[in-house]
Structure 1
Amino acid sequence: MTAKELIKQLNLTDECTWIEAKKGSAIDRSVMETICAFCNEPGLENGYILLGVEQEEMSLFPSYIATGVEQTDKLQLDLSTQCASIFNQPIRPDITVERIGDKNVIVIHVQELADGQKPVYFKNDGLPRGAYRRIGSSDQRCTEDDLFVFYNKEDSLDSTIVKDSSWDDVSESAVELYKNLRSKINPFAEELQYSDTDLLHSLGCIKKENGQTYLTYAGLLLFGKRPSHRRLLPMVRVDYIRIPGNEWVEDPENRFTTIDMRGSLLEMVQRVFSQITDDLPKGFLLAEGELQAASIGLPTRVLREAIVNALIHRTYRENQPIQILRYGNRLEIKNPGFSLKPEDHLGEPGSKNRNPYIAAVFHETNLAETKGSGIRTMRALMEKSNLLPPTFESDHGRNLFTTRLLLHHFLGTEDVKWLSTFESFELNEDQKRALIFIKETGAIDNSAFRQVNSVDTLKASADLRDLRKKEILNQKGKGKATYYVPGTYFSFGANTQASEISAQPHELSTPAPDVSTQAHDLSAPVPSLNTPANSLNTPASTNSADELGLTQELMKEINSLGKRVNNSSRIEKLIQKICSHKPHKANDIAKYFDKEESYFKRKYLSPMIRKGELEYTIPEMPNHPQQAYKTIKSRK
């Protein structure tokens, strides 16, 4: 594609999986990371980098324009030299210079490598950290799970033995449950005639080494006793958390209710399912002329499918529980481990299993299918029940997958009445569905629009742009962080005035990228930080400890640090103290230590997030302009 065609595409869809726009003043690390990601990303085929193209910052409706680059010969030479030397193998991108008006633009065309040549990685960094993948419009460092994607390893984690395990850790009730489930599917199955030892060996659940019998991870997870899970896999559990209202508020005076569940995965499916269904709203509808009422609650098959997906597709390399969050208007299931399938391909035929032995047992007992049709089935059943389709978020950076099930019936009587207030705007059905989604969750982005309406990126971008031009929605963020929130002519009811919108933060609660932020972060960021905005944007040196929300002792401890102090551990402990009192923005924390924000985030805040010492106040959108940090407190 030519530079003009690519710029036109950028203005239709913004930066996406296969296009990246950069200022192009130099061939820096970010350019090379994008080339590495384009080479590695499965199914991408082609990627383009435009040097000398930027987004207008001051425009009412920002668009991409050619700003040009200088010294094109030097940039091309530098690019080709680095591509040939810094990776584990030479990369040969196509490089062309095009003239747009009086500006020079460099187009870099990178082709995806064949499977046998992947992964490409920075030689000095090694694997997996030196390799990158193209996830959405960002370049993400690879993890060990990514290497599984590249190499399609047969020796997966669930086939690895668990040291300190033995046959004594096997739950007889779990083995009997497997036999009962299997006999219902095929009463003549050969494995039902095996002894328990031979059965688990045939399923890849036990292995012998030096005359000793050990359970594999699959064996422990599928057939292990609860005390054995607690001893050997203490963080592998399911936490069911009931949260009052529609947003996460950690209030010590009004704590949420948490139920921890652990044990054999085969037994866990029913336990978790029963716990959730007992809490879900139930209802029935008797249509005119019908003799039998139909259920209008969340379809049980959808819930079971979501639970099973979380159990068999999560990564067990991460010592984190699955979290099921029950809000007033939705259910969110968060499991460690990004999707091995690209987010845009979820619901298409074909399945990629992170845990093949666990998946095989679930398939043989009919608890799950392995053909990749589960998500498609969930969408169909939700729509049949007049519920908004489920949305899915695969966060590669945080190694997290989230399933959201809205408990709202689409186009009920109140919705029809509310949508009638938009008649003069001549909205299409997809746009109306998006407005209902925002009314329930507070915001939407391109990914959520596509999932809710089953449309492609171009259609979603066009409809969202139209809603923005009609001032029904406001655009927030830019580039890869773009999302949309209620605008001037968006109302939360037929009689609601536009001026009232900003006073309803409780309605805007679901986070990005499927739903990008919370209302108090959009219209009134101050309350989320519990202090006036002007005090947060003022250097620490000009405020008292009380004004900054810090104790006198803590301020003295910070001031006692020398400007050239290099004690990372001491600084991290101070950061934890600062953020334990209330959330703080990166810029303000950096000012306390008289440092630049970008340096401080790179040196301290981001590593502390990864180590689990800090967490974001808006976790699903790390780059949100009102992002703040708070210390993680142990939850018992």
Structure 2
Amino acid sequence: MESAANLIKQLNRTDETSRIEVKEGRKVDRSVLETVCAFANEPGLGGGYILLGVKMTGLSLFPDYEATGVADTDKLQSDLASQCASVFNQPIRPDIRIEEVSGNLVMSVYVQELPEGAKPLYFRNEGLPKGAYRRIGPTDQRCTEDDLQLFYNSQETFDSQVVNGSSLGDLDENAIDFYRSLRARVNPAAEELTYDDQELLQSLNCITRKGGDWVLTYAGLLLFGSRKAQRRLVPMVRVDYVRVPGNEWVADPDNRFTTIDMRGSLLLLAQRAYDAVADDLPRGFLLPEGQLQAESLGLPGKVLREAIVNALMHRSYRVHQPIQIIRYSNRIEIKNPGYSLKPTDYLGEPGSRVRNTFIAAVFHETNLAENKGSGIRSMRRLMEGVGMAPPTFESEHAQDQFTARLLLHHFLTREDLEWLQGFAEFGLNDNQKKALIFIREVGAVDNSTYRQLNGCDNMKASMELRDLAVHELVQRKGQGRATYYVPGVQLSAPAAVPGAPVGGQSTQGNGRSTQGNGRSTQANSQTTQATSQTTQGSDQSTESFPALPPDLSGQVSQLGKWKTDQATMENAILALCSWQPQSMEALEYYLQRDRRYLFRKFVQSLLKDNRLKYSIPDMPKHPEQTYKTS
């Protein structure tokens, strides 16, 4: 067991990690027990440390953790030991030690990972999956049905389950014929091609007998079901292709997006979605001297196809939500329900973790997808081959969502280099230059995205981002896994300011207009005149929050100062967000509760249940994010 002093030193180098969590240590509350549960459950983590009596001072630009001490060590130890023995489905015996660091007593708690057969650990009064937690980065996340499958090593996946109310009449013969043609191209001698349709579908586990009748499994309905059947049985399983003018989500309410809704057999849907997006993409060609065949300068078709197929193959079909392909002026974002079963740091490495085994097998056999984990590596290689930014990926376990982002922009072109000359005095390396261009296009960058852009490790990414922050080119927001970087003073300075980028940038209100190589970027910023809120960093004056209407004020005042049941508080949050979009700072002000408590206890579940939604959905961690009712 490591000493508390060494753990604090590590915190100051790396911030909170998957194996170290910091608590102030006033009492053993729910958040401490959630971390105990997460450390005990997380596969392959080997357990983790909780430090009570340590906090981040917040007085410096970067993490600065120090020992502040705990008051009553005996009571704290007794409370933790007794609750760990009683609140879970099985007793947990953490290793608890009291150490003196810088003259203050710190309680160090080591929680071992449970053996495979003993998982999952969960809160006894909540049951599964809601009462179980996993350690995802430096955060504790509620488990989903997919997590339970991981714990129990169940061979039954969702796509193998029977679809009640289905029959052979729900099949699409065109989809079956299309599968046969694709399979024949890969292996004309494949044995299954000699089967009749019923034998073929049975061999693919797409149909099965129930009570003497043939019924479809979810694999059968999704791969070979007709559009009519899918609309009746799985109405939210579709692909929405959304075309948004500009670079941010509905920036102009008078010029809203257009959308194409698509559903049907996944095999046919993959091609249809690809064609819809590819027809919209700008095309450029280069004819090298002495060559007879032109080279495409646009987004490689194989990259787009791989991203769409991955979304269809790996999405969680337990979640009643469509896949969204959002086409902005400068990028494509593909959002599918279901976090990545493979950690984002290992995407592109050999090996694949599959959520829908039978659907994945069919995609593999028809050569629409590979199952060796090399698809993302190929996407990165193809994008770099045409001088474009590599694709970036974001997996949100709490929101149960995965996002693939493809920038439609050639990196480090002559125009980019001219723009970057404005920052020559800072001596930036190529990695940092790429990050500045990415921020200009998207509005923010985090450590994970930085690593994906530049192919570097966590420590190098952290140091280079810190260097950008020291020069005030970026501004750090959040902490731990939620840390991200937005344009800083130097990046947002007008052209007249020394060191400002070529072409200049102007800041008006919360918007930012970037002129450089002919693009206008509003960087996902948002101006909400209705709320008259002024945001500067993360600080916000209470004077900027308008008075509530009488009926809403009465509802909020009835909440009481202390305990409020879940439903009552959720209704109050929904009422506030229905009145007008609310930030977490505003909810904290109106409800008189800590914003972290409100988000973890109420807002997070409302988002997951689709009763709340983001005002800026393409960037959940945006500094000006607000929430509104669905």
Paired position in structure 2 for 1:264: 265
Asked if the contact 1:488–1:498 (Cα under 8 Å) also holds between the matched residues in 2, the reply is no
Secondary structure at the counterpart of residue 111 of structure 2: strand
Of 71-80 and 490-499, deviating more is: 490-499
Of 568-577 and 264-273, deviating more is: 568-577
Paired position in structure 2 for 1:346: 347
- 1:396-415 equivalent positions in 2, closer than 5 A: 396-415=397-416
Asked if the contact 1:388–1:406 (Cα under 8 Å) also holds between the matched residues in 2, the reply is yes
**Cα pair distance change 1:127/1:205, threshold 3 Å:** same
1:198 matches 2:205: no
Paired position in structure 2 for 1:629: 627
d(CA) in 2 for partners of 1:145, 1:563 = 39
Of 483-492 and 379-388, deviating more is: 483-492
Paired position in structure 2 for 1:279: 280
Structure 1 residue 45, shift from structure 2 partner: 2.5
In structure 2, stretches of 5+ residues that fail to align are 494-499, 516-520
Of 56-65 and 175-184, deviating more is: 56-65
**Cα pair distance change 1:73/1:518, threshold 3 Å:** farther
In structure 1, stretches of 5+ residues that fail to align are 509-516
**Cα pair distance change 1:620/1:94, threshold 3 Å:** farther
Work out which of the residue numbers 497, 505, 515 in structure 1 matches 2:512. Answer: 505
Paired position in structure 2 for 1:611: 609
Asked if the contact 2:247–2:522 (Cα under 8 Å) also holds between the matched residues in 1, the reply is no
Of 126-135 and 320-329, deviating more is: 126-135
Paired position in structure 2 for 1:441: 442
d(CA) in 2 for partners of 1:505, 1:303 = 30
Paired position in structure 2 for 1:106: 107
**Cα pair distance change 1:408/1:557, threshold 3 Å:** closer
Asked if the contact 1:489–1:498 (Cα under 8 Å) also holds between the matched residues in 2, the reply is no
Paired position in structure 1 for 2:375: 374
Structure 1 residue 454, shift from structure 2 partner: 1.8
1:467 matches 2:468: yes
Aligned length: 610
Paired position in structure 2 for 1:495: 502
1:532 matches 2:532: yes
Structure 1 residue 611, shift from structure 2 partner: 3.2
**Cα pair distance change 1:537/1:447, threshold 3 Å:** same
Of 141-150 and 123-132, deviating more is: 123-132
Secondary structure at the counterpart of residue 307 of structure 2: helix
Of 19-28 and 364-373, deviating more is: 19-28
Asked if the contact 1:46–1:112 (Cα under 8 Å) also holds between the matched residues in 2, the reply is yes
Secondary structure at the counterpart of residue 491 of structure 2: coil
Paired position in structure 1 for 2:40: 39
d(CA) in 2 for partners of 1:590, 1:503 = 21
1:148 matches 2:143: no
Structure 1 residue 362, shift from structure 2 partner: 0.6
Asked if the contact 1:473–1:488 (Cα under 8 Å) also holds between the matched residues in 2, the reply is yes
User: Identity of counterpart residues, as a percentage?
Assistant: 56
Structure 1 residue 327, shift from structure 2 partner: 0.4
Asked if the contact 1:529–1:584 (Cα under 8 Å) also holds between the matched residues in 2, the reply is no
Asked if the contact 1:537–1:588 (Cα under 8 Å) also holds between the matched residues in 2, the reply is no
Structure 1 residue 596, shift from structure 2 partner: 4.2
Paired position in structure 2 for 1:185: 186
**Cα pair distance change 1:601/1:453, threshold 3 Å:** closer
Of 96-105 and 205-214, deviating more is: 96-105
Structure 1 residue 7, shift from structure 2 partner: 2.0
> Counterpart amino acid of 1:530?
A
Secondary structure at the counterpart of residue 21 of structure 2: strand
Of 172-181 and 122-131, deviating more is: 122-131
Work out which of the residue numbers 548, 560, 563 in structure 1 matches 2:558. Answer: 563
**Cα pair distance change 1:608/1:79, threshold 3 Å:** closer
d(CA) in 1 for partners of 2:453, 2:524 = 24
- 1:354-393 equivalent positions in 2, closer than 5 A: 354-393=355-394
Paired position in structure 2 for 1:512: none
Structure 1 residue 587, shift from structure 2 partner: 5.4
d(CA) in 2 for partners of 1:245, 1:624 = 17
- 1:67-86 equivalent positions in 2, closer than 5 A: 67-86=68-87
**Cα pair distance change 1:451/1:120, threshold 3 Å:** same
d(CA) in 2 for partners of 1:316, 1:68 = 47
**Cα pair distance change 1:475/1:105, threshold 3 Å:** same
> Counterpart amino acid of 2:29?
D
State the superposition RMSD in angstroms. 3.1
d(CA) in 2 for partners of 1:368, 1:622 = 29
Of 159-168 and 498-507, deviating more is: 498-507
Structure 1 residue 278, shift from structure 2 partner: 0.2
Asked if the contact 1:162–1:216 (Cα under 8 Å) also holds between the matched residues in 2, the reply is yes
Structure 1 residue 119, shift from structure 2 partner: 1.4
> Counterpart amino acid of 2:512?
P
1:295 matches 2:302: no
Asked if the contact 1:69–1:104 (Cα under 8 Å) also holds between the matched residues in 2, the reply is yes
> Counterpart amino acid of 1:495?
V
Asked if the contact 2:531–2:580 (Cα under 8 Å) also holds between the matched residues in 1, the reply is no
d(CA) in 1 for partners of 2:26, 2:477 = 27
Structure 1 residue 568, shift from structure 2 partner: 8.7
Secondary structure at the counterpart of residue 188 of structure 2: coil
Of 491-500 and 352-361, deviating more is: 491-500
Asked if the contact 2:418–2:502 (Cα under 8 Å) also holds between the matched residues in 1, the reply is no
Asked if the contact 1:149–1:340 (Cα under 8 Å) also holds between the matched residues in 2, the reply is no
Paired position in structure 2 for 1:582: 580
d(CA) in 1 for partners of 2:390, 2:463 = 21
Of 338-347 and 260-269, deviating more is: 338-347
Of 129-138 and 45-54, deviating more is: 45-54
d(CA) in 2 for partners of 1:46, 1:90 = 16
> Counterpart amino acid of 2:550?
M
Asked if the contact 1:245–1:328 (Cα under 8 Å) also holds between the matched residues in 2, the reply is yes
TM-score between the two structures when normalised by the length of structure 2 = 0.89
d(CA) in 2 for partners of 1:529, 1:610 = 28
d(CA) in 2 for partners of 1:40, 1:33 = 11
Q: Deviations over 1:377-400 (max 9, x none)?
A: 111111112111111111111111
Asked if the contact 2:53–2:69 (Cα under 8 Å) also holds between the matched residues in 1, the reply is yes
Of 470-479 and 178-187, deviating more is: 470-479
Structure 1 residue 97, shift from structure 2 partner: 2.9
Q: Deviations over 1:169-217 (max 9, x none)?
A: 1111100001101111111111111110010001000011111110110
d(CA) in 2 for partners of 1:40, 1:603 = 20
d(CA) in 1 for partners of 2:202, 2:66 = 62
Paired position in structure 1 for 2:497: none
d(CA) in 2 for partners of 1:631, 1:506 = 29
Structure 1 residue 145, shift from structure 2 partner: 0.9
d(CA) in 2 for partners of 1:348, 1:260 = 33
Asked if the contact 2:420–2:502 (Cα under 8 Å) also holds between the matched residues in 1, the reply is no
d(CA) in 2 for partners of 1:444, 1:136 = 17
Paired position in structure 2 for 1:166: 167
Structure 1 residue 539, shift from structure 2 partner: 8.0
1:224 matches 2:230: no
Structure 1 residue 420, shift from structure 2 partner: 2.6
Asked if the contact 1:586–1:597 (Cα under 8 Å) also holds between the matched residues in 2, the reply is no
d(CA) in 2 for partners of 1:455, 1:347 = 14
Structure 1 residue 288, shift from structure 2 partner: 5.1
Of 207-216 and 342-351, deviating more is: 342-351
d(CA) in 2 for partners of 1:370, 1:231 = 31
**Cα pair distance change 1:106/1:562, threshold 3 Å:** closer
> Counterpart amino acid of 2:409?
H
Structure 1 residue 325, shift from structure 2 partner: 0.3
d(CA) in 2 for partners of 1:366, 1:560 = 58
Structure 1 residue 473, shift from structure 2 partner: 1.6
Of 316-325 and 49-58, deviating more is: 49-58
Secondary structure at the counterpart of residue 399 of structure 2: coil
Structure 1 residue 623, shift from structure 2 partner: 6.8
d(CA) in 2 for partners of 1:416, 1:573 = 52
TM-score between the two structures when normalised by the length of structure 1 = 0.88
Of 478-487 and 559-568, deviating more is: 559-568
Asked if the contact 1:236–1:262 (Cα under 8 Å) also holds between the matched residues in 2, the reply is yes
Secondary structure at the counterpart of residue 260 of structure 1: strand
Q: Deviations over 1:499-522 (max 9, x none)?
A: 6597753559xxxxxxxx98465x
Of 171-180 and 380-389, deviating more is: 380-389
